[in-house]
Amino acid sequence: DVRLIDSRLYSKSGLKDILRKEIEGVSLVGISVMTSYIQETLNILNFVKQYNSKIKTVLGGIHPSLFPEQTVRHPLVDFVIFGEGELPLLGLAEKLFKNEDSFEEIDNLYFKRGGNIVFKKAVKFIDINDLPLPDYNLVDAERYITRRFTGGLWGRQLEYQSSRGCPSRCSFCVNTIINKRYWRQKDPAKVIKEIEALKEQFAPDSIFFMDESFFPKKKNIEMIADGLKRISVMWEANCRVDYFKDK
């Protein structure tokens, strides 16, 4: 069973009340961390460990992926996942559920063993076409649906991710380190099918593609745009202007 908490939605006292309620009986608490949220993350980890020291903690996201050994050395951190988390997080949860400790078998996982840091290897990126649509029911989706002015009309806008990574080489971006400039987009038919499901469940008027880079493959974009037009959903996405410059 999975419970998802967005700490940004609560005050410090409100978050503690939510945590106290939701971590009862859990065996693993995971947090996705950017560097700017380190102090808040440590506060949450300290609360979890004081509540029940047997609960295991795992950190993932940008900061732990950039500094995995530094992060896992912290006494409040039991595990760190490097890069994409779907498969190693599942593997870790299964091990803990079975009361097994053979964590060496899990790729992309850092942990401490006998005072030493153990890490097997960083595996190749997963095929995002194999992933199911994220379970939006784990959160109060209405808190994330925004009113946006799109195409001359006010409507409900929902965020969705169709790709990962970016092929560009911007020196300031983590993509050059974590994703190795490798860009992957879901099959356009899968994108339309998933957005159709979201439309049926949440009735958005438009979709915001929160991809790091949405436009590298123009043929895919044309197919997605045609599919969204067919199901009467408007859309927005960020873009590098040079994707549309004359060659």
Q: What is the pLDDT of residues 51-97, one digit of tens each?
A: 999 999 999 999 999 999 999 999 999 999 999 999 999 999 999 99
**Would you say residue 38 has pLDDT above 80?**
yes
The reported pLDDT for the residue numbered 60 is 97
Cα separation, 140 vs 109, whole angstroms: 30
The reported pLDDT for the residue numbered 149 is 72
Cα separation, 83 vs 163, whole angstroms: 15
**Would you say residue 183 has pLDDT above 90?**
yes
pLDDT tier at 179, thresholds 50, 70, 90: confident
Render the burial of 55-72: b for 16+ CB within 10 Å, e for the rest: bbbbbbbbbbbeebeebb
Pairing relation of β-strands 79-81 and 109-113?
A: antiparallel
Q: How far is CA 71 from the centre of its chain?
A: 18
The reported pLDDT for the residue numbered 147 is 86
Higher pLDDT, residue 127 or 245? 127
φ/ψ (deg, to 5) at 235: -155, 160
Strands (E), 91-233: 109-113, 116-119, 146-150, 153-160, 163-164, 184-185, 206-209
The reported pLDDT for the residue numbered 150 is 67
Query: Which tokens belong to 33?
Result: 């961390």
Cα separation, 176 vs 182, whole angstroms: 8
Q: What is the pLDDT of residues 100-158, one digit of tens each?
A: 999 999 999 999 999 899 998 877 889 999 999 999 999 999 999 988 776 677 889 99
* Number of Cβ atoms within 10 Å of the Cβ of 40: 15
pLDDT tier at 246, thresholds 50, 70, 90: low
233: Cα within 13 Å, side-chain hemisphere: 30
CA distances 24 to 3, 19, 52, 199, Å, are 11, 8, 9, 34
Greatest Cα pair distance, the chain, in angstroms, is 62
The model's pTM is: 0.90
Residue type, 12: K
pLDDT tier at 247, thresholds 50, 70, 90: low
